[in-house]
Structure 1
């Protein structure tokens, strides 16, 4: 069993309030939850209107399976309107 954890530090573009930020972040989290077999949450910068850190976790029988899901979820975030991925890192347990 492999557990993969991906942390993505992102900037919310054009966010003037926490409400604007939450709309963009919620859209991304909902899309990942519905398209991939991953758990996802906002884990840092909850009170900052322009920065966020999103964490995605997947469990699988092999590293390649988990890594593929995490990479596809990262591509989804990179193509999300209003969100810029600044940094992403995958660790395995």
Structure 2
């Protein structure tokens, strides 16, 4: 005797990524940069519940590349959250956004 299950609707999982290239104002050493970047990453994680990491320009003391990722089932929600992250970073005096791009996979 076999049991048949009703077909479930396929669930959608989307991943949004954002790459930010930042200029760090007032950084005089890698130690200064590390302090600023670590603080920024912690604030983004707590405020927006995103995954964030420094993924480029580790050896430059006034430039960094941050990767931000967010998971949802709606692309509009992902785009909205990542845009809020960009707006938040843009208001921080210690950093200046040089470039960014958003991609939804």
Instruction: Structure 1: state its 5+ residue gaps.
Output: none
Give every structure 1 segment of 4 or more consecutive aligned residues whose post-TM-superposition deviation is greater than 3 Å.
Answer: none
Map residues 6-21 of structure 1 onto 2, 5 A cutoff: 6-21=18-33
TM-score scaled by length of structure 2? 0.85
Aligned residues, how many?
93
CA deviation digits over 1:12-45, x for unaligned, max 9? 0121101111111111101100011210000001
Q: Does residue 83 of the first structure (1) align with residue 72 of the second (2)?
A: no
2:35, 2:78 → 1: CA distance?
27
Q: What secondary structure does 1:14 align onto?
A: coil
TM-score scaled by length of structure 1? 0.95
Instruction: Structure 2: state its 5+ residue gaps.
Output: 1-12
Choose which of 34, 53, 67 in structure 2 pairs with 1:22.
34
More strand by share: 1
> Alpha carbon RMSD of aligned pairs, Å?
0.8
Q: What secondary structure does 2:102 align onto?
A: strand
